[in-house]
Structure 1
């Protein structure tokens, strides 16, 4: 016969015996605007999701929304800041709020992928996002990569003169629009999700973006010329809503941070490998790729010189950081 005391003891024992799996796991929603085949989407699903769920022993779950199903970059930026999305992968759309993050996309700043990766994963990279939390309400986790930007167009570009009258889509970021105008093109800012239809309908003559985006978004089906200008390097920033970040335990924060950094490493590796494969595919599909000769390349760099001084006027601390980045590429 059970006494009242025995029943009470059994109740307590039962409560203590409940395993962590009996509690609802905390869900992390992660969104980007890239297709499923893009290195970022692959890295989020193969590395970030798997590592977060395994390392947290089921306390955290991850749901990845790729293909821009939750919106293009501007909408995702607003969503993650507002907390309707916990985490997003963005470019430097926050350059108006974050003092020095726009430095990354100054023209012809990085020599190659090794230079960019080494600089961004050093103390220099942290300087660029020091005020991210304060000014945006977002917690920076890692630097991924979109790549060096090239121009895909409906006509061949082999000199600066060929940019005249060319209607080019550029992202709606002031520094990027300036870079486009310096080339001599007519610039049309559009969300990345609108580019295919704009090319198809002749609203624009071309688009500048890294090779993986050109292939994944199938813009090459419409425009058959690529000029390998490599005028700007574009990163991916892994960013989490700060309130959500602070709701995690220290152990969970470490799990998320480690998984994000490992996903970013996979993304870099995949993108660099994909780029050479993408170029081969494009040529097989009838796309002509033009690599600027020295005279054209020097003219491109000269055309963009004013972008630096204009940037320094608004961001006086940037000059020293740019010097550090350049020095990192000379080591």
Structure 2
């Protein structure tokens, strides 16, 4: 196993089945509400997003509400308290953690085809994203992931649509020629920068504001809530609505451990996680809309909705299939 700490944890007998912690207390010392919580088995759920991110504020309460009568309860660890996405997946794979939230590129470490769901211009809109992630192609890929790693994707949540901020107005890839564009450090994102026309450079998200302010980088790309939470509108002139990645994150458990739950609890968890997907999407879309309205009113950053997305989509269809093994699946989804 990759995570030696997780192996030690399990060998010591600290995790039983799904690592469920029976919250059993002395009923003489707790009130009725605490006694009710004590009757629930606790699932440890972890992610890297801030406590005010919709994954935490919308997703976690929705799961717990939907599982109210199941005997299960989510206890969430936000903001990377238990590790980064790679580390969280290792803990889930080993059985030391019950559930984690991770993106397709991280799942691609375990099953290469999984990373395609982060590909540029894969989806036409959020409905297409949902249909695909709940359809046969995703089911086949998640099946291969379970077989190769034991990681079980139980639902996919909309994370946001990535947009480009810059000090130049972007209509086609020519406009970003010679511009340094910060992207996440992964081959898929390097290709994305090429599609957009910029020169890719990697930089920690926490360093991007200063990089933009000092001119070390010329632009960056992220979903609107991330752009707002990092105040990039203060140091960029334009937000260009490129819609270049309609992105999701996945709720992932350990297949063997999940199968150890009673059938009704397994189904309750999967149903609740899917209900939470609807809540998270609504919250993310509300934030995307409200931030754009706020910026339009304030004029703090100019909103460019004149991007030639057909131009970029054609470039993606030309470049991506030749760069990645899953190129044929990409074209199948894109043309759907």
Q: What's the TM-score once normalised by structure 1's chain length?
A: 0.79
In 2, the alpha carbon distance for the partners of 1:169 and 1:135 equals 32
| 2:301 aligned with 1:292 | no
In 2, the alpha carbon distance for the partners of 1:103 and 1:280 equals 32
CA gap of 1:136–1:190, structure 2 versus 1, over 3 A, is farther
Q: Deviation of residue 163 (structure 1)?
A: 1.3
In 2, the alpha carbon distance for the partners of 1:205 and 1:269 equals 32
Match of 1:310 in 2: 322
Q: Deviations over 1:279-300 (max 9, x none)?
A: 112333411111234xx43432
Contact 1:34 1:66 in 2 (8 A): yes
In 2, the alpha carbon distance for the partners of 1:199 and 1:240 equals 38
CA gap of 1:326–1:160, structure 2 versus 1, over 3 A, is closer
Q: Deviation of residue 263 (structure 1)?
A: 0.6
Computing the radius of gyration from Cα coordinates, the structure with the larger value is: 1
Partner residue of 1:163 out of 173, 176, 185? 176
Partner residue of 1:97 out of 110, 114, 128? 110
Partner residue of 1:62 out of 49, 54, 74? 74
Contact 1:100 1:129 in 2 (8 A): no
Partner residue of 1:29 out of 44, 63, 67? 44
Q: Deviation of residue 63 (structure 1)?
A: 1.5
| 2:151 aligned with 1:132 | no
Contact 2:164 2:240 in 1 (8 A): yes
Contact 2:122 2:330 in 1 (8 A): no
CA gap of 1:299–1:66, structure 2 versus 1, over 3 A, is same
Question: Secondary structure of the equivalent of 1:46?
Answer: helix
CA gap of 1:215–1:273, structure 2 versus 1, over 3 A, is same
Match of 2:332 in 1: 323
Q: Deviations over 1:158-188 (max 9, x none)?
A: 4423312322221223222211123332212
In 1, the alpha carbon distance for the partners of 2:84 and 2:209 equals 14
State which drifts further: 134-143 or 42-51.
42-51
CA gap of 1:246–1:78, structure 2 versus 1, over 3 A, is same
CA gap of 1:199–1:320, structure 2 versus 1, over 3 A, is closer
Match of 2:282 in 1: 269
In 1, the alpha carbon distance for the partners of 2:311 and 2:38 equals 62
Q: Deviation of residue 231 (structure 1)?
A: 1.3
What are the ranges of 5 or more consecutive residues in structure 2 without an aligned counterpart? 1-34
Q: What's the TM-score once normalised by structure 2's chain length?
A: 0.78
Question: Secondary structure of the equivalent of 1:228?
Answer: strand
Contact 2:121 2:334 in 1 (8 A): no
What are the ranges of 5 or more consecutive residues in structure 1 without an aligned counterpart? 1-19
Q: Deviation of residue 34 (structure 1)?
A: 2.2
Q: Deviations over 1:119-146 (max 9, x none)?
A: 2222233123221212233111111111
In 1, the alpha carbon distance for the partners of 2:219 and 2:79 equals 21
Contact 2:317 2:331 in 1 (8 A): no
Partner residue of 2:54 out of 30, 39, 44? 39
Contact 1:224 1:288 in 2 (8 A): yes
Aligned residues: 300
In 1, the alpha carbon distance for the partners of 2:294 and 2:244 equals 22
Q: Deviations over 1:2-35 (max 9, x none)?
A: xxxxxxxxxxxxxxxxxx9697753212122223
Match of 1:120 in 2: 133
Contact 1:28 1:63 in 2 (8 A): yes
CA gap of 1:67–1:215, structure 2 versus 1, over 3 A, is farther
